[in-house]
Amino acid sequence: MVPPGIEQGFLARLPLACLAPAPDVATTLQRWGIHRLGELARLPVAEVVTRLGPAGAALVRAARGEDERPLAPEPLPTAVEEGVTLEYALDNLEPLLFVLRGLVERAVARL
């Protein structure tokens, strides 16, 4: 997460491709000399709308870090399950911990 107030500075150095503009829009912006989000963020939205339409305005707002959509995190699963079939019995704590660590890492990676 980026702390509030530093969005533009954080985004400024990122390449324009991060926003995945439509090919025709990307070509136009490159022709204008726009290669980084900071350069795009400095353009007046009204001017971009007249030349590139609403999609261009959305790109400028994204380059400025403006996003009015509410945060909607995905709910965590109610249960996480991992399993392994051992080829031999474990009679020592160290091999058991090794196996458990792998199971826990796989389970956490899915969260």
Q: Write the pLDDT tens digit of every residue in 17-54.
A: 999 999 999 999 999 999 999 999 999 999 999 999 99
Whether residue 38 contacts residue 8, with contact meaning beta carbons closer than 8 Å, is answered with yes
Domain limits, the chain: 7-63, 77-111
Could you say which DSSP state residue 16 is in? Answer: G
Assign domain 7-63 to its CATH superfamily: 5' to 3' exonuclease, C-terminal subdomain (1.10.150.20)
Name which residue leads in pLDDT, 4 or 79.
Answer: 79
User: DSSP secondary structure string, 24-47?
Assistant: HHHHHHHHTT--BHHHHHTS-HHH
pLDDT at 79 over 90: no
pLDDT score, position 109 = 87
